[in-house]
Amino acid sequence: MLNLPQIKPVHQHPSLGDLATIRGRLQTAQGPEYWRSLEELAGSQEFQEFLHREFPQQASEWQDAMGRRRFLQLMGASLALAGVSACSRQPDEKIVPYVRAPRGGMVPGKPLYFATAMTLDGVALGVLAESYMGRPIKIEGNPQHPASLGATDAFAQASVLTLYDPDRAQAVTTQRGQISTWNAFLTTLRTALEAQHLKDGAGIRLLTETVTSPTLVQQIHTLFTRFPGASWHQYTPVNDHTVQAGARMAFGKDVTPLYHFEKANVILALEADFLASGPSTLRYAHDFAQKRRLPGTSTAMNRLYVVESSLSLTGAIADHRLPVRPSAIAGLALAVARALGVIANGSATIQAQVAPLSRLAPYPPASEMQAHWIKTVAEDLWQHRGASLVVVGRQQPPLVHALAHAMNNVLGNVGHTVVYTTPVAAQPVDQLGSLRTLVEDMAAGRVELLVILGGNPVYTAPADLPFAQHLIRVPLCLYLGLYANETSALCQWHIPETHYLEAWGDARAYDGTVSLTQPLIAPLYNGKSAPELLAALLEQPEQSGREIVQEYWRSQYEGADFDQFWRRALHDGLIADTAFPPQEVQLRTDWLAEAATPAAPSPGLELLFQPDPTIWDGCFANNGWLQELPKPITKLTWDNAALLSPATAEWLGLSNEAVVELRLQGRSVRAPVWIVPGQADDVVTVHLGYGRWRTGRVGAGTGFNAYTLRTSEAFWAGRGLEVHPTGERYLLATTQHHHSMEGRHLVRAGTLQQYLEQPYFAQEMSHIPQPQETLYPPQDYEGYAWGMVIDLNTCLGCNACVVACQAENNIPIVGKREVQRGREMHWLRIDRYYKGPPHQPEVYHQPVLCMHCEHAPCEVVCPVYATVHNHEGLNDMVYNRCIGTRYCSNNCPYKVRRFNFLHYAETHTPSLQLLHNPEVTVRSRGVMEKCTYCVQRISAARIQAQLENRTMRDGEVVTACQAACPTGAIIFGDINDPSSHVVRLKGTPLNYGMLTELNTRPRTTYLARLRNPNPALGDAPG
């Protein structure tokens, strides 16, 4: 058997030379030694190597020098027909045991799971991290955590890659770039603080993102007791200040609305992407799905109306979606409110308020249509008083939020579908104002010591606040951040921040639940956590993060046995019963007085800012998995674009990839155009987070910087946008070029009504008569027979499964150029189809992975048995046997197979090899690969069951995609077990197989998508 050099998995035990040594050190070291050994590591040759290493997705064809040499050896060998004798001597392999056996009941070769929490914009998501021989390699959801309930989003899945990212800041640097040490930093800090003591710290400023961590807050308060003159500023580019302001306007105090979608039958969402954007989406998506799914006999299904300007995932699953420009939504909300009797009819009539919503919207005339629409929606909401809900997104002005509160109040939803709690932000402030005052202070030279904890304000600050130029003048500026970025470049000191998998900490989840963060690995890059840095500011630098967090909670805990409480908390990853209780709120009577009625939308183009669906505000810019993750709607990778509606594009005479100059209030940026059906006319949507000018090798040179147009008044949306074609073109990389189903019944959809009348409509759709008879003898699968069902009715297209699959199966990224060539490697892709008129299409998502056909067309044509069936009906892919004829892919009607056209696998960067899942082979160049139903998980479960002399239970094997899915749209199990969930679902009328007319007998089937349109509005999506 030829030992294939390219195939180099990180094995259960250290296998590769360099890796072995690294991991050897990681393992053998304990506590402080561990620490030291990592510093040694930093000095070691292989470490240096990976610091200066090209990334896989830059995989220029010649880049793979190793491969070339290896290849020549192999060629020589096989040409000399030694190949036939398989020159099967394997290279010697080193194996490195521990010096002292690890604590914590770790069994070599078996993974451990630890509960911890990831924060995004300060708000926590509880997760379980899978640790393999001391290496965190995979993130799963924490079932006990209210924000997760076992699910994860794409960001959490991809966060492990950031942990091992060799581009992360490696050392304390000073003078904008010189390598220094933590101790040198402490000395500087001490002198600075002494100076400040004299003036009560009047020169001290602290700039953070939104902070929810009780520990951190307490530290900050201690800091201010020492330095009364100091002040604390918060700024997060994607913040909720509109939500806060809205609540304050309506109730006169700081409260946050928490929604209970599981109780809502009719939902009106105003520019609210509550299913896919924000810290609570996983929970909301889960709750929403409760009312969406049709379990067995129940026929109750909620109805979702969405009014938004840019097609979002929430809009995509809506039963009725009305695309209107941002500025028109206020008027529309006002109209609904008026229709609901929230406000007495003022001077303005609905007509006046609403028209002109859109100059370009085709038939029927905007005003009429919308008048009817508004009336119907209002009635529907009214009929479901107490079980209806009006939700508003952060892009909308406070007024609209206030209106929503008022409407929910009138509809009697408060206390049922919506409750109000204390904001999770420890100190909810108007972050824009907060930043502005800081800038003013800097300008006035009042700031002598500026401490920036995380974030990247130089890049994300509004363009009208000259943050950067004043920052340079600050005498001493300390920055704590994961990466050397735009901000670190302008700060005297940059302290590398720890990744959440390396650090102790705590943070509140969307509902206030305190979630604990605990490290799974000692800081790889010498990092410090925010609490540790604050400890240094409090002149207790010796305090470890562990002590800080533990001490805080010891002080908070009244109970008897703290250690037990603490152990429990760490085990669960959260502190029980810390969620904020609902508050009584009273709608102010005069709230509307101070609310200026919104100006009727001016003609002309508008600009809408949105956090990027895959790299958010730019903090994930250097994460290859997220960069290459197709954006849910546009299917773009590696870039952002100016999103236009087809009509607007036509009116401006623009086509895809045409570069335009966007001008807003004297600022301008050049951006490529991408036309999106369902986008409201006259609106250009741009995603934040791209166009970074100081970032790692992955993020460098991707997209354009939308922040350059973003000012504090045009923070979410701006009017008077000018679009100037430049005549240039910029090539974008999309993973889907064709958006129509060509009348093929791939995604089968119907209305609830249709389903009630004709439950089997989906199965009857298949227009080609299905051959039930076959020439092949039946294959009987005794024991287990694996199968999957994907519920299109609850699939949101949120991409969590895609990244989960990538993380679980060591799927490489290939880079923009290869994506353009159509060579992306995702085993699980989400197809997105449009149906109906381009300005108001129905949108369908369909996750497509290997169907594991019982009559697999791919297997028959493989000349070397590289893909065959196993005894449980899996369609095995044997990488080490594959010679790469690619015939299987040609013969796969679902095109789910992926081929390593070049050497894509990451086999050179040691730090990234630590990330590899040792249970899955790393594929070499020239090898076909595809979804395996996570065969490694099946094997593990099978063996475990047999060791315990039992059979596998239903739900014991959970595929990576299934585990990640927030709505439980993916169900996997044994189709030989009549009691299994998957069998139950396959029995339902909605179950159908894709392309079954080819007699492929797929093991993966779908549940048809149902929509629940309001008869009064007709079947039209609008």
Partner 1 sequence: MAQIFHPSTNTIARVSILGAVFIFAGLLWLMAALNRSSYATEEGVVRQQPIQFSHEHHVGGLGIDCRYCHTSVEVSAFAGLPPTETCMHCHTHIWSESPFLAPVRESFRTGQPLVWTRVHNLPDFVYFNHSIHLHKGVGCVTCHGRVDRMPLMSKTQSLQMEWCLACHRAPERFVRPREFVFSMDWQPQEDQRTLGQRLVQEYHIAKLTTCSICHR
Partner 2 sequence: MPEDTGRPHVQSEPPSPIRGTGHTYASVTDKISAITLSRRTPRGWLLGFGVAFLVVMVLLFAITYLLAVGVGIWGINMPVAWGFAIVNFVWWIGIGHAGTLISAILLLMRQQWRTSINRFAEAMTLFAVACAGLFPVLHLGRPWFFYWLIPYPNTMDIWPQFRSPLVWDFFAVSTYGTVSLLFWYIGLIPDFATLRDRSQSSIGRIIYGMLAMGWRGAARHWHRYEIAYLLLAGLATPLVVSVHSIVSFDFAVALLPGWHSTIFPPYFVAGAIFSGFAMVLTIAIPVRAVYHLEEFITMQHLRNMALIILTTGLIVGYGYLMEAFTALYSGNDYEIFTLYNRMFGPYALLYWLMLGCNVLAPQVLWFRQVRGSVPLLFVIALIVNVGMWLERFTIVVTSLHRDFLPSSWGMYYPTIWDWATFVGTIGLFVALLFLFLRFLPMISIFEMRELVAETTSSDAT
Partner 3 sequence: MQSLHTPPNLSLYGLMAEFATPDALLEATRCARRAGYRNVEAYTPFPVEGLAEALDFHRTSLPLVVLLGGAIGGLGAYFFQYWLNVMHYPLNVGGRPLHSWPAFIPVTFEMTILIASLAAVLGMLALNGLPMPYHPLFNVPRFALATRDRFFLCIEARDPQFDRTETRRFLESVAAYEVFEVEP
Name the residues that contact partner 1, by CB under 8 A. 1, 3-4, 7-9, 11-13, 15, 20, 24, 27-30, 33, 37, 81, 84-86, 88-90, 92-101, 107-110, 783, 865, 868-871, 874, 876, 878-881, 919-921, 932, 935-936, 939, 943, 946-947
Return the number of other C-beta atoms located less than 10 Å from residue 38's C-beta. Answer: 21
CA distance 7 to 18: 15
Query: Near partner 3 by CB under 8 A, which window of 156-164, 658-666, 816-824, 850-858?
Result: 850-858
Q: Which is nearer to partner 2, 959 or 996 (CB)?
A: 996
Q: Which of 192, 195, 468, 741 binds partner 2 (CB under 8 A)?
A: 741
Residue type, 853: C
> From partner 3, partner 2, partner 1, none, which one binds at residue 835 (CB under 5 to 8 Å depending on kind)?
none
Report, in Å, the least distance between residue 864 CB and partner 3. Answer: 11
Query: Rounded to the nearest 5°, which phi and psi values hold at 622?
Result: -100, 20
State the Cα torsion 834-836-842-845 to the nearest 10°.
-30
Q: Which is nearer to partner 1, 734 or 867 (CB)?
A: 867
Q: Are strands 204-208 and 231-234 parallel, antiparallel or unpaired?
A: parallel
Under rule CB under 8 A, which residues in 699-738 are in contact with partner 2?
Answer: 736-738
Q: Which is nearer to partner 2, 68 or 110 (CB)?
A: 68
Residues 171, 487 contacting (CB under 8 angstroms)? no
Report, in Å, the least distance between residue 643 CB and partner 2. Answer: 20
Q: Which of 32, 777, 863, 1015 binds partner 3 (CB under 8 A)?
A: 777
> From partner 2, partner 3, partner 1, none, which one binds at residue 768 (CB under 5 to 8 Å depending on kind)?
partner 2
CA distances from 807 to 51, 158, 635, 715, 956 (A): 22, 7, 20, 35, 20
CA distance 954 to 976: 11
> H helices of 271-383, where?
281-290, 313-317, 326-339, 350-354, 366-383
Q: Which of 88, 769, 776, 978 binds partner 3 (CB under 8 A)?
A: 776
Return the number of other C-beta atoms located less than 10 Å from residue 918's C-beta. Answer: 20
> From partner 3, partner 2, partner 1, none, which one binds at residue 700 (CB under 5 to 8 Å depending on kind)?
none
> From partner 2, partner 1, partner 3, none, which one binds at residue 998 (CB under 5 to 8 Å depending on kind)?
partner 2
Q: Which of 383, 890, 944, 951 binds partner 2 (CB under 8 A)?
A: 890
Task: Give me the count of residues in the chain.
Answer: 1022
Please list, in sequence order, all residues whose beta carbon lies within 8 angstroms of the beta carbon of residue 557, skipping any fewer than 6 positions away.
565
> From partner 3, partner 1, partner 2, none, which one binds at residue 776 (CB under 5 to 8 Å depending on kind)?
partner 3
CA distance 550 to 366: 60
Q: Applying CB under 8 A, does 105 fall inside the site for partner 2?
A: no
Q: Which is nearer to partner 1, 392 or 877 (CB)?
A: 877
Residues 883, 909 contacting (CB under 8 angstroms)? no
Q: Are strands 476-481 and 449-453 parallel, antiparallel or unpaired?
A: parallel
Q: Which is nearer to partner 2, 901 or 933 (CB)?
A: 901
Please name which of 365, 407, 440 lies closest in space to residue 269, comparing C-alpha atoms.
Answer: 407
CA distance 435 to 241: 13
Task: Give me the 646-685 binding string for partner 2, x by CB under 8 A, dash otherwise.
Answer: ----------------------------------------
Return the number of other C-beta atoms located less than 10 Å from residue 756's C-beta. Answer: 9
Please name which of 461, 729, 497, 733 lies closest in space to residue 618, comparing C-alpha atoms.
Answer: 461
Tokens of 292: 């969406």
Residues 157, 966 contacting (CB under 8 angstroms)? no
Report, in Å, the least distance between residue 779 CB and partner 2. Answer: 15
Residues 806, 826 contacting (CB under 8 angstroms)? yes
Size of the site for partner 3 (CB under 8 A): 17
Size of the site for partner 2 (CB under 8 A): 72
Tokens of 450: 């500026």
Tokens of 61: 């064809």
Report, in Å, the least distance between residue 891 CB and partner 3. Answer: 10
Please name which of 550, 230, 546, 319 lies closest in space to residue 1017, comparing C-alpha atoms.
Answer: 319
Please list, in sequence order, all residues whose beta carbon lies within 8 angstroms of the beta carbon of residue 347, skipping any fewer than 6 positions away.
none
Query: Near partner 3 by CB under 8 A, which window of 316-324, 450-458, 549-557, 775-783?
Result: 775-783
Report, in Å, the least distance between residue 854 CB and partner 3. Answer: 5
Q: Applying CB under 8 A, does 857 fall inside the site for partner 3?
A: yes
Q: Which is nearer to partner 1, 25 or 205 (CB)?
A: 25
Q: Which of 66, 84, 472, 860 binds partner 3 (CB under 8 A)?
A: 860
> H helices of 687-815, where?
752-757, 761-765, 800-808
| Helix (H) / strand (E) containing 890 | helix 887-890
Q: Which is nearer to partner 2, 520 or 843 (CB)?
A: 843
CA distance 9 to 920: 7
> From partner 2, partner 1, partner 3, none, which one binds at residue 71 (CB under 5 to 8 Å depending on kind)?
partner 2
Query: Near partner 2 by CB under 8 A, which window of 66-74, 114-122, 133-141, 655-663?
Result: 66-74
Report, in Å, the least distance between residue 823 CB and partner 2. Answer: 5
> From partner 1, partner 3, partner 2, none, which one binds at residue 1001 (CB under 5 to 8 Å depending on kind)?
partner 3
> From partner 3, partner 1, partner 2, none, which one binds at residue 52 (CB under 5 to 8 Å depending on kind)?
none
Residues 131, 137 contacting (CB under 8 angstroms)? yes
Q: Applying CB under 8 A, does 856 fall inside the site for partner 3?
A: yes
> From partner 1, partner 2, partner 3, none, which one binds at residue 725 (CB under 5 to 8 Å depending on kind)?
none
| Helix axes of 17-28 and 31-43: crossing angle, nearest 10 degrees | 150
CA distance 454 to 433: 19
Task: Give me the 742-781 binding string for partner 2, x by CB under 8 A, dash otherwise.
Answer: xxx-x--------------------xx-------------
Q: Sort 500 into a burial class: Cβ within 10 Å, 0-12 / 13-18 / 19+.
A: buried
Please name which of 546, 688, 554, 557 lies closest in space to residue 613, comparing C-alpha atoms.
Answer: 688
Task: Give me the 834-863 binding string for partner 2, x by CB under 8 A, dash otherwise.
Answer: ------------x-x--------x--xxxx
> From partner 2, partner 1, partner 3, none, which one binds at residue 831 (CB under 5 to 8 Å depending on kind)?
partner 2
Task: Give me the 725-764 binding string for partner 3, x by CB under 8 A, dash otherwise.
Answer: ----------------------------------------
Q: How far is CA 858 from the centre of its chain?
A: 33
> From partner 2, partner 3, partner 1, none, which one binds at residue 693 (CB under 5 to 8 Å depending on kind)?
none
Under rule CB under 8 A, which residues in 979-1008 are in contact with partner 3?
Answer: 1001
Q: Which of 18, 44, 83, 984 binds partner 2 (CB under 8 A)?
A: 83
Q: Are strands 605-610 and 717-729 parallel, antiparallel or unpaired?
A: antiparallel
Q: Applying CB under 8 A, does 670 fall inside the site for partner 3?
A: no
> From partner 2, partner 3, partner 1, none, which one binds at residue 109 (CB under 5 to 8 Å depending on kind)?
partner 1
Q: Applying CB under 8 A, does 868 fall inside the site for partner 3?
A: yes
CA distance 689 to 691: 7
Residues that bind partner 3 (CB under 8 A): 776-777, 779, 853-860, 865, 868-871, 1001
